[in-house]
Amino acid sequence: MARSKTEASDLFFVPLILFMAVYFSTYGSHNFADLIDQRQDAPSGASAEEKAADSSEGWFEIKSRYFTIYCEEATNINLIGRRLGRRALFTSGIYKPNPVSAPPQKVAYRMDMLLERVEEMLDMYPNLGRINVKIFKDRKELNAEYSKIFGVHADYKSFYIHKYSTIYASETDISDSVMAHEMAHAVIDNYFSGLPPEKIGEILATYVDLHLENE
């Protein structure tokens, strides 16, 4: 007998809630915070397109099916590609890259593969448009950008700004885990008619990160 949509949803969320309960009771909230790469709502001001245009000087651009990726010129694209490819992914329907592709095309393919895996895990397929990604050389520069946008100091590995449809990361900390977590925020925030509570978004994004390799 086919399961109803409600029953299928319960099969996903009940184990997830139990998992989070066990996690908190075992490790405490301070360790959970280490997994969190902030989802942020930016102050009023520039649009996503205007913020992307800010990246033109001193950056090079990579375009994939779903992303426009801006890499600071000082970044090592080969290193970024290796860090994005550490974990095995199980996904269906993703196009296959040319085996002799240059490093930028390999990064583009891996980013698309990660997003399709995230959507598959969440069973959420919202209209995302094109997502911007800004990759800084190091965490110091990343957090200088955060301070520039929000006017406060921070120490984050990455963050996502829904208004700008932009994920921010650095060569220092980038990985498939970090990017999948931020992509999950983008998917979740665009799936619902309004932004979900931040804690719910964090629970789902962390679930994606921890189970990225599961079949």
Q: What is the 3-state secondary structure (H, E, C) of the chain?
A: CCCCHHHHHHHHHHHHHHHHHHHHHHHCHHHHHHHCCCEECCCCCCCHHHHHHCCCCCEEEEECCCEEEEEECCCCHHHHHHHHCCCCCCCCCCCCCCCCCCHHHHHHHHHHHHHHHHHHHHCCCCCCCCEEEEEECCHHHHHHHHHHHHCCCCCCCCEEECCCCEEEEECCCCCHHHHHHHHHHHHHHHHCCCCCCHHHHHHHHHHHHHCCCCC
State percent of the chain over pLDDT 70: 68
Q: Output the pTM of the full model.
A: 0.76
Q: For the segment 172-195, what is each residue's pLDDT rounded down to a tens digit?
A: 999 999 999 999 999 999 999 888
Q: What average pLDDT score do residues 77-99 get?
A: 77
Can you give the pLDDT at residue 193? 86
94 vs 124, more confident: 124
The whole-number pLDDT of residue 149 equals 96
Q: Over the chain, what is the mean pLDDT?
A: 80
Q: What confidence score (pLDDT) does residue 155 get?
A: 96
* Mean pLDDT of all residues in 142-162: 96
What pLDDT sits at residue 147? 97
- The CATH architecture to which 36-210 belongs is 3-Layer(aba) Sandwich (3.40)
Is the pLDDT confidence value at 134 over 60?
Answer: yes
pLDDT at 95: 59
